[in-house]
Chain A
Amino acid sequence: MSAVTLTVARSRNPKLLALGRQLRSPVVLISLIFLVVVLLCALFPGLFAPLDPYHQSIVRRLRPPSFLTGQGNNWLGTDQLGRDILSRIIYGTRVTLAISLAAVIIACVIGTVLGLIAGYAGGWVDALVLRAIDAQLSFPVILLVIAVTAAVGASVPVLIVLMGVSAWPQIARIVRADVISVRELEYVEAARAIGASPMRIILKHIAPNVLSALIVVATYELSRMILIEATLSFLGLGVQPPTPTWGGMISEGQKYVQTAWASSVFPGAAITFTILAINMLGDALRDALDPRLANEQT
């Protein structure tokens, strides 16, 4: 009996098993399915969107959702130019997700490199990185973006770089803390004793231990980036129309809120549920991969 459990336990990665256990929770499962659908929408919007998101029709403007009235073929209604809201939401996932993911990747690269170096080196290098983290954590992203877009204008690369650069401290903080906790362990000491170079120790022995925490923090950062992207496009500082963005659709819809609520309510629901689903997934990843992080989040 014990031999059997032993082989089962060895045959699969314990972290993968823990992840599988998380999927038994209906909330986590629903979140995951929802996010897969969102991702597919971003990759193949043409497959999901019932109508052309750019097709305008003034006679059919500001229609209420057809699932309520039973008239027309605009499921979630039309906006102020008669464009299909559902199709625009589906096409809008692409911009939001692309910018947010790219920003998180930039943040992860900068944050991991600086976190690894600071945690491993210690001393004045660590102090310097810590100061930089503190300085940047204490500055609101929106303000930074406002300042820069005011001068150079909003474009996708500018947004990605600004958001990515603004998010690295969160990542670096966690990575650094993790490195410090494994740096003094015996196997790292053993590697040092047999003459492994610092580069090799960091990459081969320390970095793999940081991965779990990195995945969890990156997930939370993704939901924060989506929120920031939506806020910026709502303020008119993000990707410019006619490209559909969730925040931009809400901003346009707000002008007609007295007569047509659909054009601002549905894109907002898309943002909210996406963020909520990513946060739920983040919680599940945290509980499965790195439960210690639960105390880090405030």
Chain B
Amino acid sequence: MLGYVIRRILYTLPSLFCILVACFLLTRLSGDPVDLFLPIDASEEARQAFREQNGLDRPVVEQFFVFTERVMRGDFGNSLRFQEPAVDLLVERLPATLELALATLALSVIIGIPAGIASAYFRNSPLDFTVRGVTAFGQAVPTFYWGILSIIIFSVWLRWLPSTGSGTIWHLILPATTLASTMLALVTRVMRSTLLETIRQDYVRTARAKGLGEMAVLLHHAVRNALIPVVTIVALQFGVLMGGVIVTETVFAWPGVGRLAIQAIYARDYPVVQAVVFFFAVIFVLSNLAADLIHAVLDPRVRLR
């Protein structure tokens, strides 16, 4: 097991290196980075001074090492808009995003797993058809459209919930259900399809044959094993969720990291864009790592391969 963990952690190193290179190249894609950081009408002296101050007159490889070393210290430079460190802005917005992500995760698991189990157990019943229809629809509707529809229904027409802002539990409901729409559909579908596989297994038939109650067979024998892929998917989706976070936070004006990213792009605030992209990408790699490790813990066959 320890060997597997170490091997799997080492696998993330190339990914992390690629992310680092991508973030570094980001500001050099369009040619001279000075154009991105200084106003268009900056004088040639100011541009030269900026180059020297930021080491842009050095060789590119040396610049990359300087960049890497700064990133290791959590230094992405100052935001061009707010004149404070980009990382501080990110950390400031982090709790709001975390709140949203955890609420989404909870919703998907609490609703998706029972719905998937019921759908698989009562296969081809009206309940199953309803669940399948709703999940197919949930995966077809774009996240931002869910958000706007729910604003129109629950905020404009019914006046039950606020459409923007944050702070109370009431503010959290619409963004969390919106962000959960895709993940909930996925969890339900995976739970349903793996449980359908598991129910057919010999050990489930044996459990029934030795006279166990239907509930015990279902929950202790079938669901326990069918949960493994679900748990893996949830961990894996945590990274994908970050893409949805950007959209959802934009729709609901949620003061999180995703909205910071979009605002930074509009304002051409490159240090902040770099910091946020780096942050999301690292979350992504880590959630993949977590998914693999969880899978190995739950299913010993994986780590023996």
Residue A257 lies at the interface, judged by CB distance under 8 Å to chain B: yes
Binds A, one of B2-10, B168-176, B261-269: B261-269
Residue A148 lies at the interface, judged by CB distance under 8 Å to chain B: yes
Cβ-defined contact, A146 with B285, below 8 A: no
Cβ-defined contact, A236 with B30, below 8 A: no
Binary flags per residue of B161-205, CB closer than 8 Å to A gives 1, else 0 = 001000000000000000000000010011001000000000000
Whole-angstrom CA separation of A1 from B242 in the bound complex? 62
Q: Residues of B contacting A258 with CB < 8 Å?
A: 156
Q: In whole Å, how far is B218's beta carbon from the nearest beta carbon of chain A?
A: 22
Cβ-defined contact, B145 with A141, below 8 A: no
Q: In whole Å, how far is B154's beta carbon from the nearest beta carbon of chain A?
A: 12
Residue A276 lies at the interface, judged by CB distance under 8 Å to chain B: yes
Q: Residues of A contacting B14 with CB < 8 Å?
A: 135
Q: In whole Å, how far is B37's beta carbon from the nearest beta carbon of chain A?
A: 12
Q: A150-B26, A257-B156 are in contact. Are A143 and B277 (CB under 8 A)?
A: yes
Whole-angstrom CA separation of A247 from B22 in the bound complex? 28
Binds A, one of B60-68, B74-82, B113-121, B243-251: B243-251
Cβ-defined contact, B246 with A235, below 8 A: yes
Interface residues of A in 259-274 (CB under 8 A from B): 261, 264-265, 268, 271-272
| Chain B CB within 10 Å, residue with most, of A142, A223, A236, A276 | A142
Q: A261-B152, A272-B145, A298-B190 are in contact. Are A235 and B240 (CB under 8 A)?
A: no
Cβ-defined contact, A272 with B140, below 8 A: yes
Q: Residues of A contacting B158 with CB < 8 Å?
A: none
Q: Residues of B contacting A298 with CB < 8 Å?
A: 186, 189-190, 193, 229, 233
Interface residues of A in 160-177 (CB under 8 A from B): none
Cβ-defined contact, A257 with B22, below 8 A: no
Whole-angstrom CA separation of A153 from B265 in the bound complex? 10
Q: A140-B284, A143-B242, A279-B136 are in contact. Are A151 and B152 (CB under 8 A)?
A: no
Query: In the complex, which range does the number of interface residues on chain B fall in?
Result: 35 or more
Residue A147 lies at the interface, judged by CB distance under 8 Å to chain B: yes
Binary flags per residue of A23-60, CB closer than 8 Å to B gives 1, else 0 = 00000000000000000000000000000000000000
Residue B36 lies at the interface, judged by CB distance under 8 Å to chain A: yes
Residue A139 lies at the interface, judged by CB distance under 8 Å to chain B: yes
Cβ-defined contact, A234 with B265, below 8 A: no
Query: In the complex, which range does the number of interface residues on chain A fall in?
Result: 35 or more
Cβ-defined contact, A231 with B142, below 8 A: yes
Give the residue of A150, A152, A253, A265 whose beta carbon is less than 8 angstroms from that of B270. Answer: A150
Binary flags per residue of A233-267, CB closer than 8 Å to B gives 1, else 0 = 01111000000000100100110011001001100
Whole-angstrom CA separation of A143 from B277 in the bound complex? 7
Cβ-defined contact, B243 with A140, below 8 A: yes
Residue A138 lies at the interface, judged by CB distance under 8 Å to chain B: yes
Q: In whole Å, how far is A47's beta carbon from the nearest beta carbon of chain B?
A: 27
Cβ-defined contact, B145 with A151, below 8 A: no
Residue A114 lies at the interface, judged by CB distance under 8 Å to chain B: no
Residue A212 lies at the interface, judged by CB distance under 8 Å to chain B: no
Q: A138-B284, A272-B142 are in contact. Are A143 and B156 (CB under 8 A)?
A: no
Cβ-defined contact, B239 with A140, below 8 A: yes
Whole-angstrom CA separation of A272 from B139 in the bound complex? 9
Whole-angstrom CA separation of A276 from B23 in the bound complex? 36
Cβ-defined contact, B246 with A142, below 8 A: yes
Whole-angstrom CA separation of A276 from B141 in the bound complex? 8
Residue B15 lies at the interface, judged by CB distance under 8 Å to chain A: yes
Residue B215 lies at the interface, judged by CB distance under 8 Å to chain A: no
Whole-angstrom CA separation of A265 from B145 in the bound complex? 8
Whole-angstrom CA separation of A150 from B265 in the bound complex? 6
Cβ-defined contact, B15 with A135, below 8 A: yes
Cβ-defined contact, A151 with B30, below 8 A: yes
Whole-angstrom CA separation of A128 from B144 in the bound complex? 37
Q: Residues of A contacting B264 with CB < 8 Å?
A: 150
Residue B50 lies at the interface, judged by CB distance under 8 Å to chain A: no
Binary flags per residue of B95-126, CB closer than 8 Å to A gives 1, else 0 = 00000000000000000000000000000000
B262 (CB) vs chain A CBs: closest residue: A235
Cβ-defined contact, B152 with A143, below 8 A: no
Residue A22 lies at the interface, judged by CB distance under 8 Å to chain B: no
Cβ-defined contact, B277 with A147, below 8 A: yes
A274 (CB) vs chain B CBs: closest residue: B140
Cβ-defined contact, B277 with A231, below 8 A: no
Q: A143-B281, A147-B26, A235-B250 are in contact. Are A257 and B273 (CB under 8 A)?
A: no
Interface residues of A in 269-286 (CB under 8 A from B): 271-272, 275-276, 279
Residue B223 lies at the interface, judged by CB distance under 8 Å to chain A: no
Enumerate 7 A-B pairs (CB-CB under 8 Å) in ascending A order: A138-B285, A143-B243, A143-B281, A146-B261, A152-B29, A250-B148, A298-B233
Known: A146-B277, A298-B186. 7 other contacts (CB 8 A): A135-B18, A138-B284, A140-B284, A141-B243, A150-B264, A227-B142, A261-B152
Name the 8 nearest CB pairs between A and B, nearest first: A268-B145, A151-B29, A140-B243, A276-B140, A142-B243, A275-B140, A150-B273, A150-B265
Chain A residues close to B by CB (< 8 Å):
135, 138-143, 146-153, 223, 227, 230-231, 234-237, 247, 250, 253-254, 257-258, 261, 264-265, 268, 271-272, 275-276, 279, 298
